[in-house]
Amino acid sequence: VAQRLDGKRIAGDIQADVAAKVAALKARGIQPKLAVVLVGDNPASASYVRGKRRVAEQVGIESDLIHLPETVEEETLLAEIERLNNDASVDGILVQLPLPSHIREADVIERVDPQKDVDGFHPWNTGRQVAGLDTVWPCTPAGVMEMLRRERIPVAGRHAVVVGRSQIVGKPMAMLLLNEHATVTVCHSRTQGLADITRTADILVVAAGRPRLIGADHVKPGAIVIDVGINRVDGKIVGDVAFDEVEPVAGAITPVPGGVGPLTIAMLMANTVSLCERRRGLRGEAQ
């Protein structure tokens, strides 16, 4: 039976490291601050925002909530972001996605100052990621990498298969694994023979948003299975992996909930501190 990769515990370790860095910054009179922009009253988004602000408080990061109505005009939202860009006390700006359909997400992402882009979604940062330059990475794939590193799961030379190619998870996940010298295959909804491909994975990362997409037939015995999916089924949160079927086959597996989710929030805190240090030219010093 697979080892369970305990995202909650690892996230706690990351948060403890972040809290120590925040304390060191505070000792120098610097207060890291995250601005969270929430548009509308989507219950899932509101709950993610609450979770993020709670952890920020725990690690000593100040967080401001800018809550705008569902009907807000794009121009008003962009002006609000501009205000945060110009506010010297703000280190990181997070715009909770998805946004209402009358707002173009790409415009909003591009308006955030790349130096305050705590999610690492701005095309300027995407460019730096692809170019192999120092930058922040999207929190979810960064959290997966941090988990692999802390659990001492080797990546170099292994075959990593990523299911999903979104801008926020799949693509940066593939790039991060490639940077760590994995041989990477990316699958998506048009992939033919998904199981034949995923069965060759030493490390399988699934971020498709499809409950039970990955069953026992999709997994090589002993593989590391990372389930990024968050789906609500019959009032319960489940991943993209049929946990009951896959646990007896895999070498290690993340549960949902309690796997990748907590890591995402922990990395958001790490990114906030990293942007704070960077803007003040302290990067490396306070590590």
Name the site residues for ligand NDP (rule: CB under 6 A): 140, 163-166, 168-170, 187-191, 194, 207-210, 213, 228-231, 260-261, 264
Supply the angle between the helices 139-150 and 260-279 in degrees, to the nearest 10: 100
* Closer residue to ligand NDP (CB): 115 or 166: 166
In the complex, the smallest distance separating the C-beta of residue 165 from ligand NDP, rounded to whole angstroms, is 4
CB of 205 to ligand NDP, least distance (A): 10
Say if CB 225 and CB 232 are below 8 A apart: no
Tokens 């306070």 sit on residue: 286
Structure tokens at 152: 């001492």
Please say if 119 is a catalytic residue.
yes
Rounded distance between C-alpha atoms, residue 258 and residue 227, angstroms: 11
Choice between 23 and 237, CB closer to ligand NDP: 237
96 an active-site residue? yes
3-state SS class at 38 = strand
Main-chain dihedrals φ then ψ at residue 159, nearest 5 degrees: -90, 115
Burial of 239 (0-12, 13-18, 19+ CB in 10 A): buried
Q: State the catalytic residue, choosing from 15, 21, 33, 52.
A: 52
Q: Give 203's strand partners.
A: 160, 224
- The smaller minimum CB distance to ligand NDP, of residues 130 and 237, is found at 237
Provide the minimum distance between the beta carbon of 117 and ligand NDP in the complex, in angstroms, as a whole number. Answer: 16
Out of 91, 119, 227, 240, the active site residue is 119
Backbone angles phi, psi at 26, to 5 degrees: -60, -35
Candidates 21, 91, 96, 171; catalytic one: 96
Give 16 or 237: the residue with its C-beta nearer to ligand NDP: 237
Catalytic residues: 52, 96, 119
